[in-house]
Amino acid sequence: MNLDTSKECQINAELVKKAVTAIGSLSPSLKFIVLPTGTKAYGIHLIDPLSIRKGTLSAADTIVGFVINNNICCAAQTLGIYLSLFAEIEGKGAECPFTGNEKSWRNLSHESNQDILAKICVYASLHLNVTHGQKYNAGDNFQPSSWSHRWPVICGYFDLKETPPLPDHQAPQPEHYLAKHAEKWREMEKKHGLVGGHIANERTFIEPTHGLDMTQCHEMRGSSKEELDTKDSWRTTSMLLFPDGDVNGDDAKRDKLAALPEELLIETLNRLCHRDLCNVSRLNKRYHRLADAVLYKSVHFQSPELHLTFSESLGRRPRRGSAINEVKLIYPNEELSRLALDTPVHNSHYDPTRSDTLSRTLSVMSNLEKLDIAVPHVLLHGIGTLFNGPFDLAYLKECTLFYQCTDDAYWDLRENIHIFAHPTLETLIIKRAKLDEKGFDFMERPHETGLKKLHLIECDINDDGLSDLLEFPEGLEEFVMTQTAEPKPDLEETSDNFADYVLALNSQAHSLKTFTIDSPTLGCRKPLRMREFEALKSMRMNWDYQLFGKTSKKPRMHSVGLPPEMEVLEFFNEMGSDEEVMDLLLYTIQTKDVVAKAWKTFVVPEGDGGVSREIKEACREHGLQLDIIGAFDTDGDAD
């Protein structure tokens, strides 16, 4: 602010010019500038009375806000400091006269909270077709108000009794009062841990003669328009001014949530949407710290640039990594050669020459429980190094792995093989990986792990290698293996015999509850022997001959052995391609009370030929529920 109005205009114009020039050189895509000018756009500094014109973009006479440097427009800063000091010296409940004059007390005017002003600027920037070249007034409310309405509200925050202005400016003026008691304020700064340097501000109360016309601004924002009353406007800003009030002191009396335990506060914040959570995090440092734990609980990186940006932020906020519980890295088709992947990561103990930046970022997420990876093949080795670290990802419970290779080839699971040795991991999903017969070919073999669910999606897995890996889980409960009808590229490691994978699961026969193999290319030469799978409840596969074995010239030496506790059997593909197998299936249903007492549900597709009447009648007769996928139950035959 400069008393010479012409010089002030020159200075301000030069500031705007330099700012726009700098931004324009950094951002060639710059298209739009919002310039809040205040009521000087109407010539408040030149003429009296104020001449009001509709639609001029200006902020209200009073900005209810706070900035880190002293700003004459931020009334909340001056009044907050002044009234805090006044209450400390004069005592709670003391009479506090309005510091302006009679005209300021009575005349109507608009005030604008810093958030309202910011939202109007953002909205204007995002709707160029409406706002381009236009001018708008900004304010908290459509209707103006006077200081006789605001002063009681503001004094109430400091437990002071408001009074009208005294005649002849006898009331203390904030700038004089603060200067007189500067030493007392510095004592308060030390006592309450406040940031110093904000006591000086030559704020005065102008004498507005008119409010602003808010019609055009409200029409511009449409359904997104909002209004803020005096109490909420000043309260939001006071939280920014005095962010770290004692939870047992006067601030806690006004903030009812402050008395709650942090565990309960975090649970409450968990139920907020991200937008509200961001707003809460701005109230004070305590809420910011608690909201940070919720905001960063789940992080989704959709590009490596975002991932790198987060890596750099760990230098400023090193504890942020420990707040994360879930991470998704979903950018499989990105080209990473343009990025610097050897930059240091704060708190990571890995050598940048041996592991990339993106992988090392994961190492500082000490409380990570869920990891979903779908990234380019170049990161395969670096992430695999983490799984071999004795102290990394110590709380990991769920992991999904996929690495995009050239020509859509299968990625080598051996690079991430130590994920099977993770002691706390419960769910592991692997997509489009390959593994040879060597399995876990290392001298140091893990003790029993906590793996409960293993899904192999479109993988090329050798059955011997799989058998070796399945020796580690203490009690695997769910196994899923899928492959397409026409795998691309061709399978090199996968066996062509369904029974080989059942044999690979023998080490988990005591605990396995769900068994699913959806691989149409697998055949089976002999009936399955699964009587040892004592906990198995659900069994799902493609073909009926995968269970009973294909008919051949050799005689059948033994019959199928179904799990003793099996309740659900499902075939994904049409039955009846092998007549002998159909006869064996019919016989199994007819003797289910002997061979499968717990069998309750039989799920099959309808297929082109439908399900035979013999199968339907046998199921009905022996109390087996038959669910036919794709059939219309019109005559009760499918019951």
**Which residue is listed with tokens 């030493």?**
183
> Could you report the per-residue pLDDT of 39-54, keeping only the tens digit for each?
666 555 554 443 343 3
User: pLDDT confidence of 388, banded at 50, 70, 90?
Assistant: confident
Query: For 514-533, what is the mean pLDDT?
Result: 94
The C-alpha atoms of residue 488 and residue 430 are separated, in whole angstroms, by 17
> Rounded mean pLDDT of the chain?
80
What is the longest distance spanned by two Cα atoms in the chain? 117
Residue 142 Ramachandran class (φ > 0 left, ψ -120 to 50 alpha, else beta): alpha
Higher local confidence (pLDDT), 340 or 433 = 433
What is the DSSP track for 514-562? EEEEE-TT-B-SS--B-TT-TT--EEEES-THHHH----SSPP-S--B-
Distance CA 155, CA 162 (A): 6
Least Cα distance to 436 among 402, 394, 467 occurs for 467
C-alpha to C-alpha distance for 498 and 515, rounded to whole angstroms: 12
Lowest mean pLDDT among 124-133, 426-435, 487-496: 124-133
Residue 496's pLDDT band (cuts 50, 70, 90):
very high
pLDDT of residue 80: 82
Highest mean pLDDT among 164-168, 393-397, 402-406, 551-555: 402-406
Query: Does residue 8 carry a pLDDT above 60?
Result: yes
Block residue for tokens 């230098």: 315
135 versus 628: which is more confidently predicted? Answer: 628
- When pLDDT is averaged across residues 607-614 and rounded to a whole number, the result is 87
Element (H, E) at 480: strand 478-482
176 has pLDDT over 70:
yes
Neighbours of 253 (CB within 10 A): 12
Whether pLDDT at 243 is above 50: no
At 454, list the tokens.
Answer: 């293993």
pLDDT at 584 over 60: yes
C-beta separation of 431 from 457 below 8 A:
yes
Q: Which token pair is 448?
A: 């029993």
Q: How many residues does the chain have?
A: 639
Where residue 479 falls among pLDDT bands split at 50, 70, 90? very high
Element containing residue 173 per DSSP (H, E): none
Rounded to an integer, the average pLDDT of 432-442 is: 90
Which of residues 411 and 230 earns the better pLDDT score? Answer: 411
Answer whether CATH 1.20.1280 is correct for domain 257-296.
yes
Q: What's residue 114's pLDDT?
A: 75
Q: Are 592 and 624 a contacting pair, CB within 8 Å?
A: yes
Please give the Cα distance from 146 to 151 (Å, whole number): 9
pLDDT at residue 48, as a whole number: 46
**Mean pLDDT lowest for which of 239-243, 453-457, 466-470, 537-541?**
239-243
pLDDT at site 38 = 67
Q: How far apart are alpha carbons 303 and 310 in whole angstroms?
A: 11
Q: Please tell me whether residue 451 adopts helix, strand or coil conformation.
A: coil
Give the mean pLDDT of 502-519.
Answer: 96
Contact of 282 with 323, CB cutoff 8 Å: no
Q: Which residue has the higher pLDDT, 596 or 246?
A: 596
Position 371 pLDDT exceeds 90: yes
pTM: 0.59
Say if residue 586 is exposed, middle or buried (CB neighbours under 10 Å; 0-12, 13-18, 19+). middle
Percent of the chain with pLDDT over 90: 34
| Predicted local confidence at residue 528, as pLDDT | 93
What are the residue boundaries of the structural domains of the chain, listed by start?
1-30, 32-245, 257-296, 405-520, 523-638
30-34 average pLDDT score: 76
Three-state DSSP at 601 gives: strand
Region 535-554 average pLDDT: 92
Share of the chain above pLDDT 70, in %: 81
Q: In the predicted model, is pLDDT for residue 559 greater than 80?
A: yes
Task: Give the mean model confidence (pLDDT) for residues 379-399.
Answer: 84
pLDDT recorded at residue 318:
66
Judge contact between 112 and 233, C-beta under 8 A: no
Give the class (CATH, top level) of 32-245: alpha beta
Q: What is the DSSP string of 177-238?
A: HHHHTHHHHHHHHHHHT---S-----------------HHHHHHHGGG-----HHHHHHHHH
**Does residue 142 register a pLDDT over 70?**
yes
Alpha-carbon gap, residue 624 to 617, rounded angstroms? 10
Amino acid 52: pLDDT: 40
Q: What is the pLDDT of residues 304-330, one digit of tens each?
A: 777 777 777 766 666 777 778 888 888
Q: Worst-scoring range by mean pLDDT, 202-206, 275-279, 400-404, 528-532?
A: 202-206
Q: Is pLDDT larger for residue 347 or for residue 141?
A: 141
Band (62; pLDDT cuts 50, 70, 90): low
Pick from 401, 403, 413, 508: nearest CA to 451: 508
Most confident option among 214-228, 287-301, 434-448: 434-448
pLDDT category of residue 240 using cuts at 50, 70 and 90: very low
**The pLDDT of residue 135:** 76
User: Does pLDDT of 249 surpass 80?
Assistant: no
